[in-house]
Chains A and B, each alone.
Chain A
């Protein structure tokens, strides 16, 4: 055994000189697979169509991906915690319905934006409380709150409709310095993540997902962490619903369900472990773009749009196989 960087570790197990770059590569495997898949998809897309590598295309694709991405950001935080949030579907529907029925002049709109965000945060916090205090499974709790929020949305607006103010719509689709609102939001989102992931809260959420019991013994209040995690998820679902209204121009009491499982898929494709603790938002961004570009490709190839779910499903399977292989190797090296 070489006496390298390890201080006094000679009494420790053999095989201490583990290959750093190898283990790192395996750890990052799922993320790298996602990068490769995105690059491949973009390359194919670019070879089939003119003008793929332009700012304009970036603006369009980001706008198409952003609702999913915002929803998936919340989902990412919850997955890192080792949970899952199905209620974002209900929250997105509910948010669009409120926006479509309540937004009016500037004051009203501003007030209701705050209200929608607060509702998202609040519903998420309730999810977190139910999970902690009654020790219920996240899957079931958020399944229930999804149903409740969807029901509430249907009560407010039984069918798609309502109206959004002109200014709101144009704000959501504006171009500033050549970049669309959506790209600016994406940039803000990435900055937020760069900050959030190294805050104590960010580390604690990840740590709690990695091992809940250890985190508790280290003094983490699980109730607080659950409230914060699901609260953030609700908040991002509310943001997603707000952005969505700028794209659809209407409220829909049923649209949210289209984002629940894709949000999980985007995160998983990007290398977030469903077992908690591992992955980051950049992966999720890549996952969301992969799912969006599949749609573009199907359009460009002018095959039946019904191919889109098939391709998405296959990509999801590839990604998750990469993750589970990485997971296995991590577990193997653990012994």
Chain B
């Protein structure tokens, strides 16, 4: 049991934080834990969670995907333009756009894995190129509403459960399975831990990396289409907030931004933490500015708690029985 806790400390912390926040919120805003609220909460968290799914894979693989905002935005705009408010065209539009999102992700992955372009730059460049492309294509003023089916997916319910939350649960199960039980997952952790060691062990780096970014392009496109159902139409800049929140959700969920560790289970808690905060602050009568400040502080606190330095510190305070790093791993600690 103890090894399980110590290995998954960061993820457990994320869930503890989520629970504490839930109670805090219901304390300041009675009725917050009511069914309708929880529902809204899970819908909003689902959008973050779905975008962050691909981001989790990319970050575990040692990269980062900054192209999320405009992949999401392009998907949303293209879907509404193709569907023109009708359900019929979706039959073609949805698969096509998901494939396009995946293809953009694959392009990111290829640039990074084949040509050694740093992930930050590759995905940043793709992001601005997509931004420009969609602006040129639409002339800057896309006007189209989301078709009813998409609206149903985003805000509809099956029984007590929001459709999008059901979708999210299915995706989360698939993501966890991929990470824990498949050769792709195993290889992804290896590539994220050390690409050199992975290469020397015969791990197909290019394929693994490309797959992770492909997944990220796919989930960003999916989230973009779903989001139009929530906002009723696509608009320019709708993806921008998701750059920050997708990375923040992964980080709060306990993954190391250096790669090689973390799990989507943690990211789920991260998505909830971010969403609950947006609900908590209006209850406290605080503005958007305060929300950003709280976001920043929460990120700092969670990543600090999950950091090695903190556990060393805690171990030292408790008399130091926990830490097991060998002498030589401790060689370069700043004094």
Contact = CB atoms under 8 A, between A and B. Distances in A.
Find out whether A and B make contact in their complex, taking CB atoms under 8 A apart as touching.
yes
A224 to B, nearest CB: 9
B78 interface: no
B158 interface: no
Interface range on chain B: under 10, 10 to 19, 20 to 34, or 35 or more? Answer: 35 or more
A143 B120 CA distance: 14
A314 B261 CA distance: 33
A261 B136 contact: no
Interface stretch (A33-41, A163-171, A280-288, A302-310): A302-310
A324 to B, nearest CB: 4
Contacts of A221: 334-335
B140 to A, nearest CB: 7
A34 B283 CA distance: 52
B291 A304 contact: no
B101 to A, nearest CB: 18
A249 to B, nearest CB: 22
Interface string A283-326: 00000000000000000000010111111111011001100100
A49 interface: no
A109 B293 CA distance: 27
B300 A130 contact: yes
Interface stretch (A50-58, A148-156, A232-240): A148-156
Nearest to B121: A320
B120 A264 contact: yes
B246 to A, nearest CB: 12
Given A132-B334, A304-B136, A308-B132, A151 B289 contact: yes
B288 A154 contact: yes
Interface string B281-319: 000000111111111110110011001111000000000
B289 A152 contact: yes
A146 interface: yes
A307 B124 CA distance: 16
A275 B66 CA distance: 18
Interface string A202-224: 00000000001100110001110
Contacts of A275: 118
A144 interface: yes
Contact of B132 (A149, A265, A313, A321): A313
Nearest to A149: B296
A306 B136 contact: yes
Contacts of A140: 251, 257, 299, 303
A106 interface: no
Nearest to B250: A140
Interface centre among A84, A135, A141 (most CB of B within 10 A): A135
B300 to A, nearest CB: 5
Contacts of A314: 125, 129
Interface in A130-185: 130, 132-137, 139-141, 143-155, 158
Given A153-B289, A316-B121, A148 B296 contact: yes
Nearest to B138: A306
Interface string A118-136: 0000000000001011111
B258 interface: yes
B292 A154 contact: yes
A230 B308 CA distance: 22
Contacts of A135: 307-309, 333-334
A307 B127 CA distance: 13
B310 A134 contact: yes
A261 B288 contact: no
A310 B118 contact: no
A268 interface: yes
B289 A147 contact: no
Given A143-B244, A264-B120, A212 B289 contact: no
Contact of B289 (A133, A155, A222, A311): A155
A96 B94 CA distance: 43
Given A151-B291, A309-B128, A146 B257 contact: no
B17 to A, nearest CB: 15
A335 B207 CA distance: 26
A274 interface: yes
A272 B307 CA distance: 29
A265 B288 CA distance: 29
B129 A223 contact: no
Nearest to B300: A144
A152 B293 contact: yes
Contacts of B248: 143
B245 to A, nearest CB: 11
Contacts of B300: 130, 136, 141, 144-145
A80 B244 CA distance: 25
A334 B294 CA distance: 46
Given A135-B333, A137-B257, 9 more contacts: A134-B307, A136-B307, A143-B299, A145-B296, A150-B292, A151-B290, A152-B289, A155-B290, A313-B132
21 contacts: A130-B300, A133-B334, A134-B310, A135-B307, A139-B257, A140-B251, A143-B299, A144-B303, A147-B293, A147-B296, A151-B288, A151-B296, A261-B66, A304-B140, A307-B132, A309-B128, A310-B132, A313-B127, A316-B121, A316-B125, A317-B121
Per CB-CB distance, the 9 closest pairs between chain A and chain B, nearest first, are A154-B289, A151-B292, A151-B293, A310-B132, A306-B135, A147-B296, A148-B296, A309-B132, A313-B129
Interface of A: 84, 130, 132-137, 139-141, 143-155, 158, 212-213, 216-217, 221-223, 253, 261, 264-265, 268, 274-275, 304, 306-314, 316-317, 320-321, 324, 327-328
Interface of B: 64, 66, 111, 115-118, 120-122, 124-129, 131-133, 135-136, 139-140, 244, 247-248, 251, 256-258, 287-297, 299-300, 303-304, 307-310, 331-335
